[in-house]
Amino acid sequence: MTKETTSAQRSRNTTLRDVAKAAGVDVSTVSRVLKNDKDVRTSAETRQRIIEAAERLKYRANPLARALKTAQSRTLLIVVPQIENPVFASAILGAEAEARARGYVLLVAYDQNGSAASVLERVSQSSLIEGVIIASFDEDDSLRQSIAAMNRPYVVINRVLPGDVPCVAVDTCAASAIGVRHLIDLGHRRIGHVAGRLGRFNGNARRQGWEEAMSAAGLDPDPQLVAEAGYDPERVPAAVDRLLERKVTAIHAATLLTGAATIAHLHKLGLDVPGDISVVTMHDDLLARVVYPEITTVGLPTSEMGHEAVRMLVDQLGMPSDAASQRPPVLLLAPGNLVVRGSASSLKI
């Protein structure tokens, strides 16, 4: 079997020099023609010859050499705290598509137990990465320092940070409000909120959305109706129990995962969903449709978030540094639509 593995015997790729030789011109000319240089100044005839030769020899520019020369690797990095979280998976997907469309390559790095700092540190000194998208949970100073030290353009996603930090996030406050309003429209008055991590951007925003929707409907956003569970399904039962003590008829969960756990716990207690308690969630995903009842939830444009992030990043890359401050650096994406399924119904009196 022809099993050529090591780089040593791998056939050499065709280079600029090969094309130049084939077309009978200098490498510089080939480079210019193939790059479609603006001030290109070549005869149509020569250009034709070069293009044909390149075609025939299947020439592809070596990205390494190009990057070395231009200090532009056309490579972006996205740092995520976890990949199994559907929100991040979806964001990565969107970012990858956008990056690919723009001729960039997207690298994925994981920030398990705060290792983002080390990743960024490695990035900072190598010229491999042109820009970074950061989706890390960490909001402490170490990460922020790493970001600053990195000395590369970046955009933060999934949260908005104070200061002049470019961010793109979903307006989860609004998303929350939509879900809660749906419950109100169904006649519910005592609506509990299983909160995410309070103190963090999304946790706070979602809680606030609940609060605003309640207030807007003239209902009391009683803090007693909020029970924090973070992103941890293990903490959901206790939270739900507390809410049940408060005689809620509906529960609004801050994440799809905790929402599913909420329904599971209600079932465990022998309660019917939505017969006894209605449940509404946030973020739409396969998970919402493999439980019974299927979950009513409001979609989040997480994939768009990825798209927008690389769009912003690439814009930033193409701009001289002084112009960078001119555009509004934070983008808050409108939430998606309410997807009505089976986990919420009108209040039976």
Partner DNA sequence: TGCCTCTGCGAAAACGTTTGGGCAACTTTC
Partner DNA sequence: GAAAGTTGCCCAAACGTTTTCGCAGAGGCA
238 touches a copy of itself (CB under 8 A): no
Minimum CB separation from DNA for residue 104, in Å? 15
Q: Which does 26 bind (CB under 5 to 8 A by kind): DNA, a copy of itself, none?
A: DNA
346 touches DNA (CB under 7 A): no
Stretch touching DNA by CB under 7 A, among 8-16, 153-161, 185-193, 300-308: 8-16
Q: Of residues 25, 78, 92, 174, which one binds DNA by CB under 7 A?
A: 25
In the bound state with DNA, the residue whose beta carbon lies nearer, of 64 and 334, is 64
Q: Of residues 53, 81, 98, 130, which one binds a copy of itself by CB under 8 A?
A: 130
41 touches DNA (CB under 7 A): yes
268 touches a copy of itself (CB under 8 A): yes
110 touches a copy of itself (CB under 8 A): yes
Q: Which does 252 bind (CB under 5 to 8 A by kind): a copy of itself, DNA, none?
A: none
In the bound state with DNA, the residue whose beta carbon lies nearer, of 34 and 271, is 34
SS (H, E, C) the chain: CCCCCCCCCCCCCCCHHHHHHHHCCCHHHHHHHHHCCCCCCCCHHHHHHHHHHHHHCCCCCCHHHHHHHHCCCCEEEEEECCCCCHHHHHHHHHHHHHHHHCCCEEEEEECHHHCHHHHHHHHHHCCCCCEEEECCCCCCHHHHHHHHHHCCCEEEECCCCCCCCCEEEECHHHHHHHHHHHHHHCCCCCEEEEECCECEHHHHHHHHHHHHHHHHCCCCCCHHHEEECCCCHHHHHHHHHHHHHCCCCEEEECCHHHHHHHHHHHHHCCCCCCCCCEEEEECCCHHHHCCCCCCEEECCCHHHHHHHHHHHHHHHHHCCHHHHHHCCCEEEECCCCEECCCCCCCCCC
Q: Of residues 17, 56, 122, 267, which one binds DNA by CB under 7 A?
A: 17
279 touches a copy of itself (CB under 8 A): no
Q: Which does 332 bind (CB under 5 to 8 A by kind): a copy of itself, DNA, none?
A: none
233 touches a copy of itself (CB under 8 A): yes
In the bound state with DNA, the residue whose beta carbon lies nearer, of 8 and 349, is 8
Sites for DNA among residues 68-127 (CB under 7 A): 68-70, 127
Q: Which stretches of the chain bind DNA, using CB under 7 A?
A: 12-13, 15-17, 24-29, 31-32, 34-35, 41-43, 45-47, 59-62, 65-66, 68-70, 127
